[in-house]
Amino acid sequence: MNSLPILVVEDDAGLREALVDTLTLSGYPVREAADGEAALRSLAAEPIGLVISDAQMAPMDGYVLFDEVRRRHPGLPFILMTAYGVIERAIELLRAGASHYLLKPFEPAQLIAEVEKYRLRGAPSGDAVVAVAPCMRQLFTLAERVAQSDATVLIAGPSGVGKEVLARFIHRHSARVAGPFVAINCAAIPDNLLESMLFGHEKGAFTGASTSQPGKFEQAQGGSLLLDEISEMPLALQAKLLRVLQEREVERVGGSRLIKLDIRVLATSNRDMRAEVEAGRFREDLYFRLNVFPLTVPALAERREDIMPLARSVLKRYEGSAGRGALVFSADAERCLTAHGWQGNIRELENVIQRAVILAAGTEILADDLLLGPLPVSARVPAAPESVAEIAGNAALDIKSLEKRHILDTLAAAGGVKKLAAERLGMSERTLRYKLARYRDEEVTGCPVADEWIGEVQ
């Protein structure tokens, strides 16, 4: 199970060991602290998904620790272990925002049952999310809580920050996880087709409607429907959408039968929705219908703690697809990535990492490989008739062309010795031969030195 660690805070060494053993045997990563100060140091050192703390400790008791955790790490789940005689104070903590309390003594099964309710996904693996920055940890804590209801969620944030990732997270942690997750981009579909795509149509409803088709609402039955970039929906269609959301029933275009809906609606926008309402471009009543539970995903530059974990996750994905071995970032590359403005957010980060995987000559990605600024002349890749720097400046060439040029330049610099070139490129010789064969089939050389050895590949 990939999850953020659980922090157990208990001054009784024997009981702390028992709690840690119980959680560890159940598959949870655990950190431990003997008092409140040690707990705060642990929280500052790494992301924690859940705090389980004793109430009676010295010098800092569990109540003071809760106040500090709430102030420094808002939204972090907190379970208090307390004795029967002081249960009133535990109830006060619940009113103040604590997640739950456990009345001592309790059975191991009771502890595990409570922990299961509040676990947080954190490692970049499978369907996990990357949430290291405190603001993102708080965001996913809120998302996990709202996921348990059927409330409509409006997710705001700049383009490329991962709004759909958050929407999918909500679906995965909801009771509808076994149902479909259906997404439709309201900005990518022409206005005259959007109504049919959303609500479906009957045969003969319009020219070209040769068969009846269910819309996205019907396709999402029993699951979740994501209305991506909802602010781009035309006003005329917003009125029809409002009725569907109010009545929870849909009527296909050209039809007369009402179809009951059992769906959860999620929506996203990269615009200021209040400003859109005030400008008359979005219906106020629809805005309030969608804005039941608002969540905002911050820009990547506002959560710099997430940059390197995200970069490593993206690197792992692209190094495999590019046929490269394991790659790492140099210290200078990490500093450049962390300091960059990231106006394009995660989408820009993915482009930069994909480009760096292609350009990296060895097993380490250097700052120059990121192309975040002017590309210096590199001793690793001598300039050919058309250099990598010149190609990088030519927006008309795509990443594949850049990869071809980099490989050809490296081979030319290696004098056509494939083994040496493969080592410099950080790929196997077999992968290099495959790429050369593909280039030969496409009749792409572009390098006088390369013409000689491409023809030799059979």
Kindly indicate the confidence band of residue 126, based on its pLDDT and cuts at 50, 70 and 90: very low
Confirm if 261 and 249 have CB atoms less than 8 A apart. Answer: yes
Confirm if 250 and 244 have CB atoms less than 8 A apart. Answer: yes
* Domain boundaries, position 418: 302-454
CATH number at residue 440: 1.10.8.60
Q: Are residues 147 and 250 in the same domain?
A: yes
Q: Are residues 237 and 384 in the same domain?
A: no
At 188 the pLDDT is: 84
Report, as an integer, the average pLDDT of 34-60: 87
Q: Are residues 259 and 329 in the same domain?
A: no
* Residue 125 within a domain: no
Q: How many domains does the chain have?
A: 3
Q: From residue 27, give the alpha-carbon distance in Å to each of 1, 72, 112, 262.
A: 7, 28, 10, 35
At 163 the pLDDT is: 95
CATH number at residue 171: 3.40.50.300
Which of 248, 271, 296 represents a domain boundary (last residue)?
296
Q: Are residues 310 and 400 in the same domain?
A: yes
Confirm if 96 and 75 have CB atoms less than 8 A apart. Answer: no
Q: Are residues 18 and 163 in the same domain?
A: no
Q: Which residue would you say has higher pLDDT here, 105 or 391?
A: 105
* Residue 123 within a domain: no
Q: Is the pLDDT of residue 430 over 60?
A: yes
Kindly indicate the confidence band of residue 381, based on its pLDDT and cuts at 50, 70 and 90: very low
* Residue 199 within a domain: yes
At 97 the pLDDT is: 59
* Residue 287 within a domain: yes
At 34 the pLDDT is: 92
In this structure, the dihedral spanned by the alpha carbons of residues 109, 112, 117 and 119, taken in order and rounded to 10 degrees, is -170
Question: Worst-scoring range by mean pLDDT, 93-97, 270-274, 417-421?
Answer: 93-97
Q: Are residues 322 and 212 in the same domain?
A: no
Kindly indicate the confidence band of residue 158, based on its pLDDT and cuts at 50, 70 and 90: very high
Q: Are residues 345 and 449 in the same domain?
A: yes
At 353 the pLDDT is: 93
> pLDDT (tens digit, 9 = 90+) per residue, 316-356?
888 776 667 788 899 999 999 999 999 999 999 999 999 99
* Residue 257 within a domain: yes
Cut 0.85: pTM above it: no
DSSP string, 415-451: TT-HHHHHHHHTB-HHHHHHHHHHHHHHT----HHHH
Confirm if 405 and 425 have CB atoms less than 8 A apart. Answer: no
Helix or strand (DSSP H, E) at 192: helix 191-199
Which of 85, 118, 151 represents a domain boundary (last residue)?
118
At 298 the pLDDT is: 96
> pLDDT (tens digit, 9 = 90+) per residue, 297-319?
999 999 999 999 899 888 888 87
CATH number at residue 44: 3.40.50.2300
Kindly indicate the confidence band of residue 424, based on its pLDDT and cuts at 50, 70 and 90: confident
Kindly indicate the confidence band of residue 154, based on its pLDDT and cuts at 50, 70 and 90: very high
Q: Are residues 370 and 435 in the same domain?
A: yes
Q: Are residues 270 and 320 in the same domain?
A: no
Report, as an integer, the average pLDDT of 358-383: 69
* Residue 446 within a domain: yes
Rounded to whole angstroms, the Cα distance separating 92 from 113 reads 22
Confirm if 103 and 84 have CB atoms less than 8 A apart. Answer: yes
Which of 296, 325, 353 represents a domain boundary (last residue)?
296
Return all residues near 123 (Cβ < 8 A) that are at least 6 apart.
Answer: 2, 3
Q: Are residues 196 and 270 in the same domain?
A: yes
Q: Is the pLDDT of residue 394 over 60?
A: no
Q: Do you know the residue count of the chain?
A: 458
* Residue 126 within a domain: no
Q: Are residues 160 and 62 in the same domain?
A: no
Q: Are residues 139 and 235 in the same domain?
A: yes
* Residue 128 within a domain: no
Q: From residue 406, give the alpha-carbon distance in Å to each of 68, 320, 384, 447.
A: 53, 18, 10, 11
Kindly indicate the confidence band of residue 388, based on its pLDDT and cuts at 50, 70 and 90: very low
